[in-house]
Protein backbone atom coordinates (compact mmCIF):
# COMPACT_ATOMS: atom_id res chain seq x y z
CA UNK A 1 0.00 0.00 0.00
CA UNK A 2 2.69 2.53 0.94
CA UNK A 3 4.69 1.95 -2.24
CA UNK A 4 1.74 2.92 -4.45
CA UNK A 5 0.93 5.87 -2.18
CA UNK A 6 -2.78 5.17 -2.14
CA UNK A 7 -5.09 7.07 0.14
CA UNK A 8 -8.27 5.39 1.32
CA UNK A 9 -10.42 8.02 2.96
CA UNK A 10 -13.75 6.27 3.55
CA UNK A 11 -13.52 6.56 7.33
CA UNK A 12 -12.44 10.20 7.20
CA UNK A 13 -15.11 11.40 4.78
CA UNK A 14 -17.91 9.46 6.51
CA UNK A 15 -16.86 10.75 9.95
CA UNK A 16 -16.47 7.16 11.26
CA UNK A 17 -19.84 6.00 9.87
CA UNK A 18 -17.87 3.48 7.78
CA UNK A 19 -14.64 2.16 9.28
CA UNK A 20 -11.39 1.60 7.37
CA UNK A 21 -8.86 -1.07 8.24
CA UNK A 22 -5.43 -2.09 7.04
CA UNK A 23 -6.16 -4.34 4.07
CA UNK A 24 -6.74 -7.94 4.98
CA UNK A 25 -9.27 -10.56 4.01
CA UNK A 26 -11.02 -12.90 6.41
CA UNK A 27 -13.64 -14.91 4.57
CA UNK A 28 -16.83 -15.68 6.44
CA UNK A 29 -18.75 -18.77 5.58
CA UNK A 30 -21.96 -17.11 6.76
CA UNK A 31 -23.45 -13.88 5.50
CA UNK A 32 -22.35 -11.56 2.71
CA UNK A 33 -18.91 -10.03 2.44
CA UNK A 34 -18.94 -6.38 1.41
CA UNK A 35 -15.84 -4.48 0.30
CA UNK A 36 -15.53 -0.87 -0.74
CA UNK A 37 -12.29 0.23 -2.37
CA UNK A 38 -11.37 3.84 -2.96
CA UNK A 39 -8.07 5.07 -4.31
CA UNK A 40 -6.63 8.33 -5.51
CA UNK A 41 -3.95 8.43 -8.17
CA UNK A 42 -0.51 10.00 -7.83
CA UNK A 43 -1.77 13.04 -9.77
CA UNK A 44 -4.03 13.95 -6.86
CA UNK A 45 -1.05 13.98 -4.48
CA UNK A 46 0.07 17.37 -5.82
CA UNK A 47 -3.43 18.83 -5.43
CA UNK A 48 -4.19 21.31 -2.66
CA UNK A 49 -7.77 19.99 -2.38
CA UNK A 50 -8.81 19.33 1.21
CA UNK A 51 -10.57 16.11 2.21
CA UNK A 52 -12.63 15.92 5.36
CA UNK A 53 -15.96 14.70 6.70
CA UNK A 54 -18.88 15.15 4.31
CA UNK A 55 -20.77 18.24 5.50
CA UNK A 56 -24.19 16.60 5.08
CA UNK A 57 -23.20 13.88 7.59
CA UNK A 58 -22.33 16.42 10.30
CA UNK A 59 -24.67 17.88 12.87
CA UNK A 60 -24.71 19.21 16.41
CA UNK A 61 -25.04 15.61 17.61
CA UNK A 62 -22.39 14.36 15.16
CA UNK A 63 -19.58 16.96 14.99
CA UNK A 64 -16.52 16.36 12.79
CA UNK A 65 -14.09 13.81 14.21
CA UNK A 66 -11.28 14.53 11.73
CA UNK A 67 -9.65 17.69 10.48
CA UNK A 68 -9.41 18.32 6.77
CA UNK A 69 -6.18 17.25 5.09
CA UNK A 70 -4.62 17.00 1.66
CA UNK A 71 -3.62 13.72 0.08
CA UNK A 72 0.03 14.85 0.17
CA UNK A 73 -0.11 15.53 3.93
CA UNK A 74 -1.80 12.18 4.61
CA UNK A 75 0.68 10.24 2.45
CA UNK A 76 3.68 12.01 4.03
CA UNK A 77 2.46 11.13 7.52
CA UNK A 78 1.52 7.56 6.50
CA UNK A 79 4.99 6.94 5.04
CA UNK A 80 6.80 8.52 8.00
CA UNK A 81 4.73 6.54 10.52
CA UNK A 82 5.32 3.19 8.86
CA UNK A 83 3.30 0.02 9.27
CA UNK A 84 3.06 -0.35 13.03
CA UNK A 85 -0.48 -1.71 13.25
CA UNK A 86 -2.08 1.65 14.06
CA UNK A 87 -4.19 3.78 11.74
CA UNK A 88 -2.67 6.94 10.26
CA UNK A 89 -6.11 8.50 10.66
CA UNK A 90 -5.54 8.91 14.41
CA UNK A 91 -3.10 11.71 13.58
CA UNK A 92 -5.92 13.66 11.92
CA UNK A 93 -8.53 13.26 14.70
CA UNK A 94 -9.83 16.43 16.32
Model pTM score = 0.67
Mean pLDDT of the chain: 78
Range scoring the smallest mean pLDDT among 6-10, 44-48, 49-53:
6-10
Q: Predicted confidence band at 94 (pLDDT cuts at 50, 70, 90)?
A: very high
- DSSP letter string, the chain: -TTTT----HHHHTTTSS---SS-----SSS----------HHHHT----B---GGG--SSS--SB--B-HHHHHHHHHHH-SSSS-GGGGGB-
Amino acid sequence: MASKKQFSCTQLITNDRFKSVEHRVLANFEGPRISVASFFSEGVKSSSKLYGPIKELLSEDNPPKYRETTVAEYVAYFNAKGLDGTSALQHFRL
